[in-house]
Amino acid sequence: MTQVRSEQSLYRRLRHELVTPESIYGTIIVSALIVIADDDESDFNLLVVVAGTSFVFWIAHVFAATVAHHGKRGGVEIPIGEALGNAVRHSAGLLIAAIIPILVLALGAAGILSEDLAYLLALFVGVVILFVLGTLAFAERGSRWYFCLLGGLATGLLGVAVILLKAVFH
């Protein structure tokens, strides 16, 4: 019974850590970066752009959160080191969101997948990640299973909208 409880606790903790505004925002950023890539851009160059941009956004987010949260809040002193640690933890989703699409692009860059297939899979993975994050967000709030799926579908459709915007404006 204790093992089941600790597994549930681990599952809930992981779900809580993964379903963050930063991971959703990071997934949207990564999908948008992939979508706006030139048709002749190699998967390796796209991988470098996605990884580099994700890292820069993460640094900017950590910096902004650190500056905004250190100092006195409600009469309690928050040292800059503590503010930085909290910012790094809370901003991790921006980096985590890029991992799977980068791995897929790496498969294309390495020649394991064709570059076109890797590009399409990286876009598809973004939509799937948004679907999963949306579903988990509703599940964490205790929604019924069909609302969880509808929430996931709506969140995944945001990824599809980003892809369609590429087709319209690029």
| 10 in a structural domain | no
Residue 17 is assigned to a structural domain of this protein: no
Residue 44 structural domain: 22-169
Task: Count how many domains the chain has.
Answer: 1
- 38 belongs to a structural domain: yes
Q: Is the pLDDT of residue 1 over 70?
A: no
Residue 6 lies in a domain: no
- Residue 10 pLDDT more than 80? no
Does residue 142 lie within any of the structural domains?
Answer: yes
Q: What is the pLDDT of residues 14-59, one digit of tens each?
A: 677 778 889 988 998 899 899 888 778 899 999 999 999 999 999 9
SS3 of 126, please? Answer: helix
Q: Could you report the per-residue pLDDT of 52-95, keeping only the tens digit for each?
A: 999 999 999 999 999 998 887 777 888 999 999 999 999 999 99
pLDDT at 164 (0 to 100) = 81
- For residue 9, tell me if it sits in a domain: no
Position with higher pLDDT, 170 vs 67:
67
Q: What one-letter code names the amino acid at 145?
A: W
Residue 15 lies in a domain: no
The per-residue pLDDT for 19 is 80
Interatomic CA distance for residues 89 and 28, integer angstroms? 19
Q: Is the pLDDT of residue 2 over 90?
A: no
Evaluate whether residue 14 is within a structural domain: no
Q: Which of 43, 155, 144 is nearest to 97 (CA)?
A: 155
Q: How many helices (H) and strands (E) does the chain have?
A: 6, 2
Handedness of CA 11, 14, 17, 18 (dihedral sign): negative
pTM of the model: 0.82
State the pLDDT at residue 61.
Answer: 95
pLDDT, tens digit, 9 for 90 and up, residues 90-119: 999 999 999 999 999 999 999 999 999 999
